Structure 1
Amino acid sequence: MTRLQAGPSDADTTSMSRARHAAVGALLLAVAAYVVLPLGEGVRGWAYEAIGVTAVALGGWGVRQQRLPRRRGWLLVLSGFALWVVGDLVWDVEQLVLHLDLLPAPSDAVYIAGYVLLGAGVLVLARARRESGHRMALLDAAIVTVGVAVPTAVFLIVPAASDSTLTLAGQVTTSAYPLGDLFVLAVLARLALTPGASTPAFRWLVAGLLSTLVADIAYQVGTITGRFDDSVWMDLGWLLGYVAIGAAALHPSMRTLAEPPPDRAGAPSSRQLAVLTAASVLPGVTLLIEGFTGRTIAWGVIGAGIVVLAGLVLARMGTLLDQVQVQAVQLAALARVDSLTGAPNRRTWDHELSRACAQALDRAEPLALAIIDLDHFKRYNDAHGHQEGDRLLRGAVAAWSAELGERQMLARYGGEEFAVLLPGHDLVSGRELVDALRRLTPGGQTFSAGVAAWEPGTEPASAVAAADAALYRAKRSGRDRVEVADRPTADIATAVMRGMRIVVQPIRDAATGRVVGHEALTRFAEPGDVRERFAEAHALGFGDLLEAHAIRSAVALPQRPVDQLLFVNVSTDALTSERFWDALPERLDGVVVELVEDARAVDWSAHSGHLDRLRARGARLAVDDLGAGAGELARLLVVRPDVVKLDRHVTRGCADDDLRADLIAMIVGLADASGAQVCAEGVEAPADLERLQAVGVQLAQGFLLGHPEPTWAAPQPDPAPSR
């Protein structure tokens, strides 16, 4: 029978915790007794040694009990403190037994060796935590060290090195102590500022080292200034340092102190910023103290410290900027990639599709695209679970991407739909490649796909719509197949254009009723919404040609009045097509181009070049249906139109609606300020016309003033409506 090895029970753990607390508590009571009780000099000295030996021994026992995989750092730290305990014993012998007054003395060598071991141990612990934020922590530690080094050098090292009463060996020894403290401070800052868990053992270790450093500096300042007070309060800092180190090594959390932290990046804490700020101003404070006390200012030391600090701060700023740039790149990459499959997302697809169309035009090469839909994916999810469904999506992307070339792109279009961009492929080769992808679909699954070719001069969306239509034809035909889109032919476009006719509706002066222009309106042989017919034509790839044909037909209407304006409609989709400009009449004198706003938010500033091209051909500009679209006032500011046409939903009923009338009056004021006229559409009631006249509207159009007819309206005014 195999016997299982059990870890320590809860009772054992509780017992060990109580023993640990009891040991630390006993040491703290001993320190309190040392400070408070009136002990003799000899007894006090041996009590001091006993507390130090006990604390270091308990720490060594704790390291041995924990059986650390990385315990070299802890052993070096404890060895450094152990050497200080030995140094204290040697110093007692020198002072109390041998009555020696030497500098350097044997105890000095032991003390200085303790600094080396202690600093090396803390450095080992710090380097074990360096995997996250290594460079930043190193720079922060350097800033703290250099900041503290300036006053240390000015007030401790320089006076000791220049003390003429000491021998050269004495000067070196006296200077070695503050240098040792700086070394320990540097590695302590390195440890404290490196990302990692702030465990109880970590806090005990930092507290012990800080307590020791404060006592050291106080002792050195007292020695150099001649105001050294050999009292129990001076010993308190060193004794608390011994106890804190022993407590740190005893605590179970010391196992994780030397372990690398999880990778995490974040802004420095407020405490860390406070430490860095304090260290940065220390050279300036040192200079002020030197000046106020009348001391000889150590310009070289302070100046060098300030220069080094400035360089370190700049290096830290550079590192921080590099980190921010890396994170910005990572965020940008995440924004362009589907988080589940790793494939480019819909946003990236839209961007790359436009870029591919531009490249295909520049290189005069074909461009095909495909829309893929996994067959019965919902059924697969219901049968196998969403995790398996996600695994299928990831596996399909991996298999398909491996088959595609460097210039080709697979993107997740949405849900179980994917889009493929195939530069350099026509319909035939594009279909063959997509069919090869179909056979690579993992898990025995299939997909349906539609392939379409982009035609130069047409909108990219038309090719996507054609591929999508082919996809649904593939699904209706039984799935697991690839269908090719029907390319819009010249015959289809010609048939639509042949069934199109132009009618004109008069636009009258609102005050006099005189006809000042006509709007050309398109009608088709088949009944239906005209805007939908144009939208279908754009989706099929010839909407731009249809709009140009409508304008040519309107301009060519016979017996067109030369003293009247002709209003025609143009969409932003047509403006972006070079085929539209090629088919447009070269001169548009007397023509007012109404810029149609749709449900999309249009960036009119991006069309400023197109507007200039219209004006160059002699056309005037109008914004159509103001009050119905998303752009509204932005169109007025960017387009700077000659005519502003109010949407029928704004004008209708204005006679009985003061708010509508006030809105119209505001628009009239804006138009007047820019030199534009206002034309009210949809005028059907005499009362509305009167209200429009009253608020300053100059032009009017609607059934009240004339219906769309195949012929031009008579120029004379109709009988004025009764008032």
Structure 2
Amino acid sequence: MRPLWGWYVVMLFLAVIGYFRTPDTWVQTIVYDSIAVSGVIAMVVGVIRNRAAAARLWIMFAGCQLLVVGGDFTYAWYARHLNQSPYPAPADGFYLAAGVLEVLVLVRILRRRLPARDAAGVIEAVILTGSFALIAWVYLMKPVAQDTELTTAGKLVAIGYPVIDLLLLTLLARMLVGGGARNGAFRLLALGMTSYLAADYAWAFTDHFEFEAGTFTSHLMDAGYLIAFGLYGAAGLHPGIRDLAEPVEITDRRFSRWRLGLLTTATMIAPALLIEQAWFADNHVADAQAIAAGCVGMFLLVVARMTVLIRQVERQASVLESQAEELTELAQRDTLTGLANRRAWEQALPLALDHARRDGNLLALAVLDLDHFKRFNDQYGHQAGDRLLKEAAAAWAGGLRSDDLLARYGGEEFALIIPNGGATLAGELLDRLRPLTPHGQTFSAGVAVWDGQESSEMLFARADAALYEAKGAGRNRVALAA
């Protein structure tokens, strides 16, 4: 079943299509304003029905659209009823007030949605807006500022429209490049703002280039506004409006292709304007200073964005390096006892032999095995057996020197490297460890002293054979390999 907001979108587009068939009379004005007011009502009803976060801000946003409708009706009243076209007109007050209030409301919503600092998002939004600001200055603001026929009030009104559009464009860009989930309400709101700005710029450039818009063209631009009003209402009816103003977590975003393409296009607008003016004005660039400032500004913003990106890469590399170290540490640690595991032992023993060979020092290797561990397990259970292994490992490790390496070789068997020590030191060390064994248990051990030539496998085999001698001699003792 189609949701309510979906039905509203369908009815909206049918109404907009019907608007194209209205005559240029009060009928057209009534149909236009009715569609726009329906969007206002839909947003208010949807915000209340969905219990949206920051509901008052969304209702204020809908109120801004109602002010625009008031401006449309006022404009029609002067044009149709009074047959007057004053400039500045009272309708301009409605339009400009609505634009300023809409900017303030969206700023508050975005501050709620994006409370954390996001240098990358801000820079990208400024890059996108800066390119349009240059276009607006060259084609919309500068001609107005140089027009000698306009009054000061007329100039302020004429410049106010593109300034407000630039502010709205900045907020739209900030929404699009910001973090957080892009649910249905987000998309409807963003599409609505895009449609509104497209219609506004279409009217502005039509006036600038003195293009005589026919009935269909003017209806088409009006449709942009109507679609914007309707999409705002659909966003309010969408359940996603409930979370749209909730704070989102800013994370390091992937620099996607569409983002790169959009920013590249924005930075190329200033050079494109330079080429356009030089091409059509016989190498005379009328707006050279503005274009040069735009090029410098874009260059500095791109450098700033690259700096943020490099820091992001460095931060991610540091995290990956830390994670790699943690994984390496985990791969070489026995999960139960926390001692070095067999893999770490097999890497450490050849290195210890190389050091002993190079320095000419003695090195002893011991293999320890808990006595009657299977019987302990059968009597007290496997959990008690695991505790015995863990506590024994901790007790023995506490009695070792800093250079000694104790590892869990497997099961209840442990291996110990004793550098800078011969048979006597190894025997004394193991005799100190045997009373430390918890729960009244004992261990047997075999010790082999490296002869300076044999491999690590041969050395371990001799110590292991000595362990079996200790076991055969009655356990709870240390045996020295031949």
> What CA distance in whole angstroms lies between the structure 1 residues aligned with 2:269 and 2:478?
75
2:135 alignment partner, SS class = helix
Work out which of the residue numbers 314, 320, 324 in structure 1 matches 2:309.
320
> What CA distance in whole angstroms lies between the structure 2 residues aligned with 1:451 and 1:72?
79
Work out which of the residue numbers 214, 225, 248 in structure 2 matches 1:238.
225
CA contact (8 A) 1:412 1:418 kept: yes
Work out which of the residue numbers 203, 217, 221 in structure 2 matches 1:219.
203
2:239 alignment partner, SS class = coil
Q: 1:161 to 1:329 in 2, by over 3 A?
A: same
1:210 is the counterpart of 2:197: no
Q: Which has the higher helix share?
A: 2
2:181 alignment partner, SS class = coil
Letter matched to residue 41 of structure 1: T
| Aligned-residue offset at 1:237 | 0.8
1:306 is the counterpart of 2:291: no
CA contact (8 A) 2:118 2:250 kept: no
> What CA distance in whole angstroms lies between the structure 1 residues aligned with 2:266 and 2:193?
18
CA contact (8 A) 1:143 1:280 kept: yes
CA contact (8 A) 2:446 2:468 kept: no
Letter matched to residue 44 of structure 1: Q
| Aligned-residue offset at 1:71 | 3.6
2:182 alignment partner, SS class = coil
CA contact (8 A) 1:160 1:224 kept: no
- The residue that corresponds to 1:30 in the other structure is 15
CA contact (8 A) 2:448 2:466 kept: no
CA contact (8 A) 1:204 1:248 kept: yes
CA contact (8 A) 1:20 1:251 kept: yes
1:168 is the counterpart of 2:152: yes
- The residue that corresponds to 1:137 in the other structure is 121
> What CA distance in whole angstroms lies between the structure 1 residues aligned with 2:469 and 2:77?
98
Structure 1, unpaired ranges of 5+: 1-13, 493-723
- The residue that corresponds to 2:173 in the other structure is 189
1:335 is the counterpart of 2:324: yes
Q: 1:427 to 1:211 in 2, by over 3 A?
A: farther
CA contact (8 A) 1:150 1:305 kept: yes
- The residue that corresponds to 2:135 in the other structure is 151
| Aligned-residue offset at 1:96 | 3.9
**1:45-444 paired onto structure 2 within 5 Å:** 45-71=29-55, 74-97=58-81, 101-130=85-114, 134-227=118-211, 229=213, 231-260=218-247, 265=252, 267-294=254-281, 296-338=285-327
CA contact (8 A) 1:448 1:475 kept: no
**1:492-641 paired onto structure 2 within 5 Å:** none
Aligned residue pairs: how many?
A: 453
| Aligned-residue offset at 1:218 | 1.2
> What CA distance in whole angstroms lies between the structure 1 residues aligned with 2:291 and 2:158?
21
Structure 2, unpaired ranges of 5+: 334-339
CA contact (8 A) 1:454 1:463 kept: no
2:38 alignment partner, SS class = helix
> What CA distance in whole angstroms lies between the structure 2 residues aligned with 1:451 and 1:260?
64
Bigger radius of gyration, 1 or 2? 1
> What CA distance in whole angstroms lies between the structure 2 residues aligned with 1:51 and 1:312?
41
Q: Which has the higher strand share?
A: 1
- The residue that corresponds to 1:718 in the other structure is none
TM-score by length of 1: 0.50
1:41 is the counterpart of 2:25: yes
Letter matched to residue 240 of structure 1: I
Letter matched to residue 31 of structure 1: V
* Larger displacement relative to structure 2 (412-421 or 144-153): 412-421
| Aligned-residue offset at 1:240 | 0.8
> What CA distance in whole angstroms lies between the structure 1 residues aligned with 2:59 and 2:460?
74
| Aligned-residue offset at 1:170 | 2.2
Q: 1:470 to 1:353 in 2, by over 3 A?
A: closer
Letter matched to residue 25 of structure 2: E
CA contact (8 A) 1:122 1:191 kept: no
2:149 alignment partner, SS class = coil
Q: 1:18 to 1:430 in 2, by over 3 A?
A: same
CA contact (8 A) 1:290 1:296 kept: yes
> What CA distance in whole angstroms lies between the structure 2 residues aligned with 1:437 and 1:99?
106
Percent of pairs with identical residues:
30
| Aligned-residue offset at 1:51 | 1.2
Q: Which has the higher contact order (CA 8 A, sep 6+)?
A: 2
CA contact (8 A) 1:125 1:258 kept: yes
- The residue that corresponds to 1:651 in the other structure is none
CA contact (8 A) 1:452 1:463 kept: no
Aligned-CA RMSD value: 5.4
1:68 alignment partner, SS class = coil
CA contact (8 A) 2:366 2:447 kept: yes
> What CA distance in whole angstroms lies between the structure 2 residues aligned with 1:485 and 1:244?
86
